[in-house]
Amino acid sequence: MEIKSLDEIKKECEACTGCNLYKTRTNTVFGVGNPNATLMFVGEAPGEKEDLSGIPFVGAAGKLFDKYLAAVGINRDEVYIANILKCRPPKNRDPKSDEEDVCIEYLRGQVRAIKPKMIVCLGRIAAARLIKPDFRITQEHGIWFQRGQFEICAVYHPSALLHDPRKKDAMLADMLAVKEKLDEMK
């Protein structure tokens, strides 16, 4: 299997018309960060701010995510951040499985190009797609799974913390464990 560069994959993604989301996007939100990252974060889909900027996790949830990264000592520039979907679903609805089916190939290409040792899913939807279909975020957040050459886990999506602040302590504990594992793998 040919490993394409991130630039090649991004160009293909920007030209994508594989589902109807391309009709309403302002920008594709491909991903951002270190192309040689040990740690990759994967969310579900871009929101309005991300669609406008073309950069993942820059809205309110992204700002909260940045605070968690800073709190545990992870530099955003040293990791890679992407979403399963590269275009914003209308009104920030959950991604549909056929939309995920189109975009998952771009994400797989990103993973092949970056070769992370760790992937952290941000939220239930990413975890259900990347870890197992019946993933239960409230019971399984912070649990590590081995998938091929990398370890993968899920933490709460930052937007969930905006709606339910009671989850913030669990998120901090999970992010501290991510940092600990990252330090072990460097």
What is the model's pLDDT at position 89? 96
User: Considering the entire predicted model, what is its pTM?
Assistant: 0.97
> 6-185: what fold?
Uracil-DNA Glycosylase, subunit E (3.40.470)
pLDDT score, position 186: 77
DSSP lists the bridge partners of residue 151 as 118, 146
Sequence ranges of the domains in the chain:
6-185
Per-residue pLDDT tens listing for the chain (186 residues): 678 999 999 999 999 999 999 999 999 999 999 999 999 999 999 999 999 999 999 999 999 999 999 999 999 999 999 999 999 999 989 999 999 999 999 999 999 999 999 999 999 999 999 999 999 999 999 999 998 889 999 999 999 999 999 999 999 999 999 999 999 997
Query: Cα angle vertex 141, ends 153, 170, to 5°?
Result: 125
The whole-angstrom distance between residue 16's C-alpha and the CA centroid of its chain comes to 19
